[in-house]
Chain A
Amino acid sequence: MAHFSTNEFKAGLKIMLDGEPCNILENEYVKPGKGQAFSRVKIRKLISNKVLEKTFRSGDSVEGADVMDTELSYLYTDGEFWHFMNNETFEQIAADEKALGDSIKWLVENDTCTITLWNGTPIVVTPPNFVELEITETDPGLKGDTAGTGGKPATLATGAVVRVPLFVQTGETIRVDTRSGEYASRAQK
Chain B
Amino acid sequence: MTILHQWQPSGSIDSIVKRAQILSKIRNYFANQNVLEVETPTISPSTVTDVHLEAMTTIHTNPQSVEKTHLFLQTSPEYYMKRMLSAGFPSIYQITKCFRDDEVGRFHNPEFTMLEWYRLDYSMHELIEDVDSILKLVLDTPVCHKISYRELFAMHLDLDIKNDSDLKLVSICKQCGFENIVPTEFKETLSQTQRNMLLQLLFCEEIESKIGLERPVAVTHFPASQASLAKIDPVDPWLSLRFEIYYKGIELANGFEELTDVKEQKARFTADNEQRKESGLEVKPEDTKFLDALEFGLPACSGVALGIDRLIMLALGKKHISEVLTFDFASL
Interface of A toward B, CB cutoff 8 Å? 28-38, 40, 54-58, 60
Take A29-B104, A54-B180 as given contacts and tell me if A37 and B201 are in contact as well, using a CB distance cutoff of 8 Å. Answer: no
Nearest CB on B from A63, distance (A): 12
Interface of B toward A, CB cutoff 8 Å? 50, 52-53, 102-106, 108, 177-178, 180-181, 196-197, 200-201, 203-205, 226, 228, 244, 251, 254, 305, 307
The DSSP consensus for interface residues of chain B is: mixed
List the B side residues contacting A54 at CB < 8 Å.
Answer: 177, 180
List the A side residues contacting B201 at CB < 8 Å.
Answer: 36, 38, 55, 57
Sample (17) of A-B pairs whose CB atoms are under 8 Å apart: A29-B103, A31-B105, A31-B108, A32-B52, A32-B200, A32-B204, A34-B50, A34-B52, A35-B204, A35-B226, A36-B52, A36-B201, A55-B178, A55-B181, A56-B180, A56-B181, A57-B181
Identify 20 new A-B residue pairs, CB closer than 8 A, beyond the known A35-B204, A56-B180, A57-B201.
A29-B105, A29-B106, A30-B105, A31-B103, A31-B105, A32-B203, A32-B204, A33-B254, A34-B226, A35-B52, A35-B203, A36-B200, A38-B181, A38-B205, A54-B177, A55-B181, A56-B181, A57-B181, A58-B102, A60-B180
List the A side residues contacting B108 at CB < 8 Å.
Answer: 29, 31
Bound complex: CA of A136 vs CA of B181, how far in Å? 55
Decide: B196 and A35 in contact? CB cutoff 8 A.
Answer: yes
Decide: A28 and B106 in contact? CB cutoff 8 A.
Answer: yes
- Closest 10 pairs (CB-CB, A-B): A29-B105, A35-B200, A36-B197, A36-B200, A57-B181, A33-B254, A30-B204, A34-B228, A35-B52, A32-B200
List the A side residues contacting B105 at CB < 8 Å.
Answer: 28-31
Residue of B52, B177, B251 contacting most chain A CB atoms (<10 Å): B52
List the B side residues contacting A33 at CB < 8 Å.
Answer: 244, 251, 254, 305, 307
Bound complex: CA of A58 vs CA of B51, how far in Å? 13
Nearest CB on B from A108, distance (A): 34
Closest chain B residue, CB of each to CB of A29: B105
Closest chain B residue, CB of each to CB of A57: B181
